[in-house]
């Protein structure tokens, strides 16, 4: 839910922005590495799909 909201508000996301937006979420296992990569890829893919 956070990722969809983030992409909707800020379609051109970079890694520092994604990490700042995720600051309130707790992830103890990976330090958000895979989550940040997934959000970055989704934002890029959604930007390409929008005319």
Residue range 23-34, pLDDT digits in tens:
877 777 777 888
Model pTM score: 0.75
**Burial letters 3-34, b for 16+ CB under 10 A, else e:** beebbeeeeebeeebbeebbeeeeeeeeebee
Q: What is the average per-residue pLDDT within 19-43?
A: 83
């Amino acid at each position: 839910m956070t990722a969809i909201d983030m992409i909707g508000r800020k379609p051109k996301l970079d890694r520092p922005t994604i990490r700042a937006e995720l600051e309130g979420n707790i992830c103890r296992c990976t330090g958000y590495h895979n989550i940040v990569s997934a959000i970055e890829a989704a934002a890029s893919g959604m930007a390409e799909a929008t005319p």
